[in-house]
Chains A and B, each alone.
Chain A
Amino acid sequence: MHGNRFRHNFLTALLLAPATAWLVVFLVLPFIAIAIFSVGERAPEGGYQAAFTFAQYANLPARATAFWNTMVLAPVGALACLLVAYPVAYYLALRAPARWRLILLALVVIPFWTSLLMRTYAWMYILGGRGIPALLAFVGIEDVRLINTPGAVLLGIVYGYLPLMILPIYVSLERLDRRLLEASADLGATPLSTFVGVTLKLSLPGVMTGFSLVMILLLGEYLIPTLLGGGKVFFIGNALVDLFLQSRNWPFGSAIAITLVAVSVVVLIAANRISTRVSGARRVDLI
């Protein structure tokens, strides 16, 4: 019995060891490093200088606008993404011919294998003066500006995160028992009430997963606002990149990073709670 238990524990430890080592060296240690930085001071030439002060945290309101913009962008971007993604996932899971399903699904992922930078630069071209505005000028609508607008940023975000939203919703819809839909229709429910009462309800875990994943990744986004927004809209990701790479105020950047991670964890937990309450599922089903 003892031997058995020992073997059980040993195997458990063995299974967890690689992940634990990985998490310690590449998550806990870096986190400790920025935690130490965050109570330090900026060196005169930039960088970090040892100290113990909470001045960096007290200075957080200096980036309040960036925090606020991010808190608006993340849910709005995720929602826009969801509105585009849901019909696609629905079609792929329930309407598309079975033999096309894999190909169509792959077609959703393949754009991701072309660098995001190149795709975003392509959008800069399409929205820029030689793209759509040139076409509009051709039909007589002059001097339309699309690039560097909030709309362009939103478009870029929907574009960049669409597959991350489609996949989890697809998985949750695909597992759906079609007999339920038929039963609902047989019982005289309208298509709309079948959709709301059965399909939407059962796909909620996937929706929540996609929504929280996209929202969390949007909390750190900086490239799309920079390229398609012309650097005029400032998000927390931009603030971080600036502090670490431009003004090299590493302590302040670290304090912001720690705050952002804390906020993100809270968001993740809240999303978990909501999805548990709504769907009765145990945890967020990430795919």
Chain B
Amino acid sequence: MRAFVTAVFAFLYLPIALVVLFSFNAGRHASEFTGFSVQWYGTALSNPFLVEALKNSLFIATTSALLAAVCGTAAALGLARVGVRTRAVFDALLGAAIVVPGVVIGISTLVALVQLFAVVNPFLASIWPGDQPPKLSLGYGSIIAAHGLFSMALVTMIVGTRLGSLDRNLVEASSDLYATPLTTFRSIVLPQIMPAVVAGFLLAFTFSFDDFIVAFFVAGAQTTLPIYVFASIRRGVTPEINAIATIVLVASVLLVVLAQWQLRQRKPSN
């Protein structure tokens, strides 16, 4: 069993190792290793487009995952309070949000938004008192929302299941003891659903950070890291992309180690 698990981890990290290896390539191509060099780290960090793409991706993934976690949790709590019919409608919509393939989400959102803007923008212009009315356009907002849709549905379902298995006696006991609903929520419900919320957040972040096809359509003039990577790979200059990927990798490993260390500090018995 251990051998098998070790093999699976090797399988998971073999391509990653290659990505890291080529980040130290002296040559221009990621297909021939011609010597060791750290030059691509310098090139990557001084490339404003690449750095901005990374920043964009971090910002978009964090925001959409946060929004998805908050709205999804709220929706799950709300759904626990409604009748069967409303619930069925929501369940169907949430299910649909999960099953629609990315390419369809991308193109249909783009088409719908362009139509929506065509109606909303002239309207805004007609009621706007100043010279330069606000103009809705594609960009951060549309990527965040399009990414968050899938994640929010996922969070709602995950948290909803947790809520279903929540110990109701505790909730009742709490209100019998005259705790306000808010206190009950904070001290009883929230701690129990928190693991599901965190799991949902992480999934949402990962999904958004790695998505290409949805962003390709709805990004407008913005570039995210996957869009940049897609273009660069076709252009044949990957070592700087590899360098950025390696930096992201090292940062996430450090984050995990830090989290582990924190947990151990807090609970020395474990």
Which A residues contact B (CB, under 8 angstroms)? 8, 11-16, 18-20, 22-23, 25-34, 37, 84, 87-88, 90-92, 95, 98-99, 102-103, 106-123, 125-126, 130, 159, 162, 167, 171, 213, 216, 219-220, 222-223, 237, 240-241, 244, 250, 253-254, 257, 260-261, 264-265, 267-269, 282-287
Please give, as numbers and ranges, the residues of chain A lying within 8 Å of B157 by CB-CB distance.
283-284, 286
Q: How far is the CB of B33 from chain A (nearest CB, A)?
A: 10
- Out of A29, A34, A130, A162, which one reaches B12, CB within 8 Å? A162
Inter-chain contact A15/B78, CB cutoff 8 Å: yes
Please give, as numbers and ranges, the residues of chain A lying within 8 Å of B260 by CB-CB distance.
102-103, 106
Given contacts A88-B8, A162-B12, contact A18 B256 (CB under 8 A): no
Is B175 an interface position by the 8 A CB rule?
no
Please give, as numbers and ranges, the residues of chain B lying within 8 Å of A22 by CB-CB distance.
71, 145, 148-149, 152
Inter-chain contact B98/A99, CB cutoff 8 Å: no
Inter-chain contact B229/A118, CB cutoff 8 Å: yes
- Out of B81, B146, B263, which one reaches A15, CB within 8 Å? B81
Inter-chain contact B233/A118, CB cutoff 8 Å: yes
- CA of A125 to CA of B44, assembled, Å: 22
Which B residues contact A (CB, under 8 angstroms)? 1-2, 4-5, 8-9, 11-16, 18-19, 30-32, 70-72, 74-75, 77-79, 81-82, 90, 92-105, 107-109, 111-112, 115-116, 145-146, 148-149, 152, 154, 156-158, 160-161, 164, 196, 199-200, 202-203, 206, 209-210, 212-213, 225-226, 229-230, 233, 238, 241-242, 245, 248-249, 252-253, 256-257, 259-260, 263-264, 270
Q: How far is the CB of B27 from chain A (nearest CB, A)?
A: 14
Q: How far is the CB of A260 from chain B (nearest CB, A)?
A: 7
Q: How far is the CB of A26 from chain B (nearest CB, A)?
A: 5
- CA of A134 to CA of B5, assembled, Å: 27
Inter-chain contact B256/A27, CB cutoff 8 Å: no
Given contacts A15-B77, A220-B104, contact A115 B226 (CB under 8 A): yes
Given contacts A110-B249, A117-B233, contact A286 B158 (CB under 8 A): yes
Inter-chain contact B101/A119, CB cutoff 8 Å: no
Contact residues of A: prevailing secondary structure: helix
Inter-chain contact B101/A126, CB cutoff 8 Å: no
Inter-chain contact A25/B145, CB cutoff 8 Å: yes
Given contacts A37-B111, A103-B260, A122-B19, contact A29 B158 (CB under 8 A): no
- CA of A248 to CA of B262, assembled, Å: 53
- Out of B31, B82, B101, B196, which one reaches A237, CB within 8 Å? B101
Q: How far is the CB of A231 from chain B (nearest CB, A)?
A: 14
Please give, as numbers and ranges, the residues of chain A lying within 8 Å of B8 by CB-CB distance.
84, 87-88, 162
Please give, as numbers and ranges, the residues of chain B lying within 8 Å of A267 by CB-CB distance.
99
- CA of A29 to CA of B100, assembled, Å: 14
Closest 5 pairs between A and B when the two form their complex, measured CB to CB: A220-B101, A15-B78, A122-B15, A30-B108, A19-B75
- Out of B199, B206, B209, B233, which one reaches A287, CB within 8 Å? B199
Inter-chain contact B4/A114, CB cutoff 8 Å: no
- Out of B75, B98, B200, which one reaches A16, CB within 8 Å? B75
Please give, as numbers and ranges, the residues of chain A lying within 8 Å of B102 by CB-CB distance.
220
Q: How far is the CB of A107 from chain B (nearest CB, A)?
A: 7
Q: Closest chain B residue to A254 by CB distance?
A: B108
